Structure 1
Amino acid sequence: MTIKDEIKAKIISKGWTIKDVAAELEKRYNSSYSPENLSNKLRRGTIKYQEVKDIADIIGYKIEWIKKQ
């Protein structure tokens, strides 16, 4: 599964849409953030790590780094 597919699957599984997430990102960043912009970043693989962390927070996840055993 690609990162794009993984993020989209997590968004959908929590009952959100790309449009809803983009609207929340727009509020957080206090700037224009369209669903098309988000979809394009996911498709191209140019999404920033901070944006991924914010998306996770919006939909109720937390990203943690766990050391391999």
Structure 2
Amino acid sequence: MPLKDDLKALIIKNGWTITAVVDELNIRHSTNTSVQNFSSKMIRGTLKYSEVEEVLDILGYDITWTRRG
């Protein structure tokens, strides 16, 4: 499943909306990113790793790296 689908599903599963996540990102960084801009980044697959980490932090998740096998 593409990142945008995974991220969107996780946002919804945790009772958030994309608008609320973007609002929280704007508060944390004193920015004015629009929901449209954030959604476009998700659709194009151009979210930075740090942006994904930040969204996951808002949702209460961490990224973990595990070695296969």
Q: Which amino acid aligns with 2:40?
A: N
Task: Name the TM-score, length of structure 2 as normaliser.
Answer: 0.94
Give the aligned partner of residue 22 of structure 1: 22
The Cα RMSD (Å) is 0.8
Task: Name the TM-score, length of structure 1 as normaliser.
Answer: 0.94
**What are structure 1's unaligned runs of at least 5 residues?**
none
**What are structure 2's unaligned runs of at least 5 residues?**
none
Identity of aligned residues (%): 46
Give the aligned partner of residue 9 of structure 2: 9
Deviations 1:32-59 (A, max 9, x none): 1111111000001110000000000001
Q: May I ask how many residue pairs the two structures share in their alignment?
A: 69
**4+ residue segments displaced more than 3 Å:** none
Distance in structure 1 (CA, Å) of the matches to 2:33 and 2:61:
21
Distance in structure 1 (CA, Å) of the matches to 2:44 and 2:38:
10
1:5 partner SS: helix
Q: CA deviation at 1:31?
A: 1.0
Distance in structure 1 (CA, Å) of the matches to 2:34 and 2:9:
19
Give the aligned partner of residue 40 of structure 1: 40
Q: CA deviation at 1:65?
A: 0.8
